[in-house]
Amino acid sequence: MVDVLTEIIINCPVRKVSEYAANPVNAPEWYVNINSAEWQTPKPLERGSKIAFKADFLGKQLSYVYQIAEYIPGKKLVMRTADGPFPMETTYTWESNDGQTTRMTLRNKGNPAGFSLLFSPFMSLMMKRANNKDLKKIKSILENVRDKPTYPLT
């Protein structure tokens, strides 16, 4: 079992951070390994919504579909996939520190299978590094482009 938790403080209000992070259209901008995200169900984002992702990880191209298991706008998003080489659950949480800064957590947990099973001893370390890069990137995007629309999910 892989279970990786990372966090960062972003100097933006929780609403801006959560709307940007929860919107699948933005994923390729801030996730280092994600190449594309495509809605499989109608908007808005809600429990049961499905999004197809294409990514590169460990030198392999992956295609998988996440289904939204829980979504509390401005607080929490839980996505799960049961297909592909690495069944995974990804959770984002957002907490306002002082109204102007947000503590964002990113947690990935799952059971490696297929080619990923060969790398399982190193999987947590590689995922933690990737997640830290992703959180630093979203922080940079949101803090440096304060006027950028967040593209609400409604």
Contacts (Cβ under 8 Å, ≥6 apart) of 119: 58, 112, 126
User: Which pTM does this prediction carry?
Assistant: 0.87
Question: Reduced to 3 states, what is the DSSP secondary structure of residue 108?
Answer: strand
Q: What's the rounded Cα separation, in Å, for the pair 127 and 45?
A: 25
Q: State phi, psi for 109 to the nearest 5 degrees.
A: -140, 145
The conformation of residue 145, written as its DSSP 8-state character, comes to: -
List of domains in the chain: 2-144 (3.30.530.20)
Q: State phi, psi for 29 to the nearest 5 degrees.
A: -75, -35
Supply 111's token pair: 């059971």
* Cα-Cα-Cα-Cα dihedral sign, residues 148, 25, 5, 131: negative
Q: Show pLDDT as tens, one digit a residue, over the chain (154 residues).
A: 789 999 999 999 999 999 999 999 999 999 999 999 999 999 999 999 999 999 887 677 888 899 999 999 999 999 999 666 678 899 999 999 898 999 999 999 987 666 555 556 677 888 899 999 999 999 999 999 755 555 555 5
DSSP 30-59: H-SSEEEEEESSPSSP-TT-EEEEEEEETT
